[in-house]
Chains A and B, each alone.
Chain A
Amino acid sequence: MVLDIIIAGLINGSTYALLAIGFSLIFGVARIVNIAHTAFYMVASYCIYLITQKLGYHPTVGMLVAVPLVTLLGLICYKLFIDPIREHEAAVLIGTIALAIAIQEIMLLIFTGDYLSVPALIQGYFTLFGVKVFHQQLLTFVAALIILGALRMLLMNTKLGLAIRSTAEDREVANLMGMNESRVAMITMGVSVGLAAFTGAVVVPLTIVNPFMWMHPLIMMMAVVVLGGLGSIKGSFMGAYILGFAEALVVFLIPMGSFLKGSVALSIMILVLLIRPEGLFGIAFEEER
């Protein structure tokens, strides 16, 4: 059973990590709480469904088309709906909720509420210490590690990364130093939405495509980000696996209460916040102010 828990925890955690890293990035840099983050993940899922199931292309083609397309959509949405109100954090929060609901309703109109699915990028499964694991789940785990590595490379070893980090550190000083803070925020938004779309592409074969599929991951992603510390990518990564393991523990130890896995994970988040309000790797609120 221990192995089951470890494997299930790693898989759950990888999905949450992929979503939370993008969300954390845009919050860390531009202080944008983008509630529509998982709505973009949903749009990518529908794109892949359309390309694979309706047009008959391989899931890889779906992925290659969906990620840039959704990134572009994210940038348009940013320019139209977020950028004009960026200075007002509460307005951004409410605006992105409205944006997410609008996207949901559009998907509902186009695709109705039917439950849809797409084929896996890599079909089949393998057995690890007696536990059956989908190849797609392994891909999700590997993708989470690669994304984290690539993001670290981008942030630490490139000029863009330096700009992003500087902006995250202090927007005003970065501006005074000649950095186009608005442009950096837009690029970060592009990377963030691109990550959401990529997550959609990797995770969609493991899930059910429907217009409400953005809600549950949003709650879990927010929990991960708050647990890890708002704006901390490392924290998001750690938080994702903590909640992933918590969920796996519930399923294996209390089978009749497996529906409680989300609630237990959220309770852990609350518990951590009571002890450490800034989250595991976050900056203390007082200090931030």
Chain B
Amino acid sequence: MNRCRILMTTLVAFFLVVTISFPALGAKTIKIGVIGPMQFVQGKGHWNGATLAAEEVNARGGVKVGNKKMKIELVKADSNEFLNVTDATNAMEMLLSRDKVDFVVGGFRSEAVFAMQDIAMDYKKIFIGAGASHSKLCLRVAEDYDRYKYWFRATPFNEKFLGRTSFIHLATVGAILKKSLNIPKVKVAIVAEKAMWVEPMIAAAKGFIPKVGMEVAGVWQPSQAATDVTAELSAIQRTEAPLIFTIFSASVGISFARQAGELKIPAVQVGINVEAQKDGFLEATQGMGNYVMTLNTFARGVEVNELSKPFMDKYIKRFGETPTYTAETYSAIVYNLVPVIEQAGTLDADKLIPIMETREFKTPSGRVKMVSTPEGKPIHELKWGPGYQTSLGVQWQDGKLVGVWPNKWKAAPKAPEITYKGIVPYKIPPWMIEKYKK
């Protein structure tokens, strides 16, 4: 009896040691960690995009690694990064040490991604960012290549290009207002949440606006979580600015759009409003977010290339909503990791990196190419511009989020015009027309 008990205990201990210490023993899967704020739209986008990718790849038999096929196994990690950066680093640590993932995709807040990036680099695992825009994340690759070469960006392009694109949107709408409403000099009110990433954009906007024949009416910076912006709106209305350039990534984007719509402030909103990119925006603003325009990655009915429609259809059918930009985890897996692994025939990060650095490929949001510094140092940053990633300008029109830019856009005076399939004309709110046509 006693001997039997000893034998049983030894067996249990053995299995425990084996399962805890060697979880990947005999594994026939490629483990991809998906990290993001899972209780929030951004994290849901990360997870949904990756899920769709894994389902698609596994349905066709998996990934060919050398002479064997391996299925993709996703591991979900809630970074809780909106609230606590430490939670994000713990989640990343768990992914790499306990779950022993081969790759990581995701991340959203730059502040958290910097910390997560360091952990992934410690473990020498490829981390493809799909949410944070800070340019420094990629510049680190040039500064210390051997350490940071495992970092790649999938989306969005950095804050300089985000700014450049939204300035193009601003100039486009400014020209429409000038022409349609006969406003001789368009005044622009800059309204930006108080956050680190918006400061260079405000400075750049102040310089850009006069260059395109418009005038800065003032700058307002409510807090990211401001729920009442009526005072700011009253002040803006007093300036008689017909154009508001918004830079919002947080909930203030909802408060601002809702209250501006309810008060029928005679000014259109253009710029970045992350909340306005989501399907639930109109409900969140009680229908008052109509006519808000924002930079975005996807829009129903807009085809950047031949991959856009199949992806959108599949995503909407599977999850019942338009993908947010963090759902680019799909492209990071399907169009980046999988072909690269198949080409290299290995999961060894050091062998995959040279291929990832030089490879150009299409995704549903445009062509991807990794750029280098002017000195030729790789930074694993996305190339912006016609033929590559440009993003979209989207506007809420009659309860639907539609694509309005690029519409006959010329990147340079002699460059060809670009209009993506499914783009519709920009609409001016009726109360604006009423005010200025008098």
A60 within 8 A of B: no
B227 within 8 A of A: yes
- Assess the A208–B284 pair: CB atoms within 8 A: yes
- Which residues on A sit within 8 Å (CB–CB) of B225? 212, 216
- Residue B235 contacts which of A124, A206, A210, A252 (CB distance < 8 angstroms)? A252
Whether A208 contacts B82 in the complex (CB less than 8 A), given A117-B258, A256-B220, comes out as no
- Assess the B82–A113 pair: CB atoms within 8 A: yes
Bound: A4/B285 CA distance, A? 24
A 102-143 binary contact with B (CB < 8 Å = 1; else 0)? 000000110011111111100011000001111001000000
- Assess the A137–B230 pair: CB atoms within 8 A: yes
- Assess the B39–A255 pair: CB atoms within 8 A: no
- Residue A206 contacts which of B228, B233, B238 (CB distance < 8 angstroms)? B228
B219 within 8 A of A: yes
Whether A259 contacts B231 in the complex (CB less than 8 A), given A53-B283, A114-B280, A208-B255, comes out as no
- Assess the A259–B221 pair: CB atoms within 8 A: yes
- In B111-169, the 8 Å CB interface with A consists of none
- Which residues on B sit within 8 Å (CB–CB) of A134? 230, 259, 262-263
Nearest CB in chain A: distance from B348 CB, A = 37
Of chain B, the residue at the smallest CB distance from A1 is: B238
A 241-281 binary contact with B (CB < 8 Å = 1; else 0)? 00000011001100111110110000000000000000000
- Assess the B219–A255 pair: CB atoms within 8 A: yes
Q: Give how many B residues have a beta carbon under 8 Å from the other chain's beta carbons.
A: 40
B373 within 8 A of A: no
- Which residues on B sit within 8 Å (CB–CB) of A210? 251
- Which residues on B sit within 8 Å (CB–CB) of A252? 231, 235
- Which residues on A sit within 8 Å (CB–CB) of B286? 117-120
- In B235-251, the 8 Å CB interface with A consists of 235, 237-238, 251
- Residue A115 contacts which of B230, B263, B284 (CB distance < 8 angstroms)? B284
- Assess the A259–B262 pair: CB atoms within 8 A: no
Nearest CB in chain A: distance from B431 CB, A = 12
- In B199-228, the 8 Å CB interface with A consists of 218-223, 225-228
Nearest CB in chain B: distance from A57 CB, A = 15
Nearest CB in chain B: distance from A227 CB, A = 20
Bound: A212/B251 CA distance, A? 11
> Total A-B residue pairs with C-beta atoms closer than 8 Å?
106
Whether A4 contacts B222 in the complex (CB less than 8 A), given A108-B39, A117-B285, comes out as no
Bound: A251/B220 CA distance, A? 8
Bound: A259/B222 CA distance, A? 4
Nearest CB in chain B: distance from A40 CB, A = 18
- Assess the A251–B235 pair: CB atoms within 8 A: yes
- Assess the A12–B284 pair: CB atoms within 8 A: no
A 3-37 binary contact with B (CB < 8 Å = 1; else 0)? 01000100110010000000000000000000000
B402 within 8 A of A: no
Bound: A139/B254 CA distance, A? 22
Of chain A, the residue at the smallest CB distance from B219 is: A256
B 88-119 binary contact with A (CB < 8 Å = 1; else 0)? 00000000000000000000000000000000
- Assess the B39–A112 pair: CB atoms within 8 A: yes
- Which residues on B sit within 8 Å (CB–CB) of A4? 231, 234-235, 238
Whether A132 contacts B234 in the complex (CB less than 8 A), given A114-B40, A117-B254, A208-B254, comes out as yes
Bound: A208/B371 CA distance, A? 40
Bound: A44/B221 CA distance, A? 30
A207 within 8 A of B: yes
- Which residues on A sit within 8 Å (CB–CB) of B383? none
- Assess the A255–B232 pair: CB atoms within 8 A: yes
B 279-292 binary contact with A (CB < 8 Å = 1; else 0)? 01001111000000
- Assess the A248–B231 pair: CB atoms within 8 A: yes
- Assess the A208–B227 pair: CB atoms within 8 A: yes
Nearest CB in chain B: distance from A277 CB, A = 29
- Which residues on A sit within 8 Å (CB–CB) of B231? 4, 8, 247-248, 251-252, 258
- Which residues on A sit within 8 Å (CB–CB) of B275? 115
- Which residues on A sit within 8 Å (CB–CB) of B232? 251, 255, 258
- Which residues on B sit within 8 Å (CB–CB) of A259? 193-194, 221-223, 226
- Which residues on B sit within 8 Å (CB–CB) of A216? 225, 227
Between-chain CB contacts (< 8 Å), 5 pairs: A8-B231, A108-B39, A113-B82, A251-B220, A255-B219
Could you tell me which A residues sit within 8 Å of B by CB distance? 1, 4, 8, 11-12, 15, 53, 108-109, 112-120, 124-125, 131-134, 137, 206-208, 210, 212-213, 216, 247-248, 251-252, 255-259, 261-262
- Can you name 18 extra interface pairs (CB under 8 A) apart from A11-B228, A206-B228, A212-B225? A4-B235, A11-B230, A12-B228, A15-B228, A53-B283, A108-B39, A113-B40, A134-B230, A134-B259, A134-B263, A208-B251, A208-B284, A216-B227, A255-B218, A256-B221, A258-B231, A259-B222, A259-B223
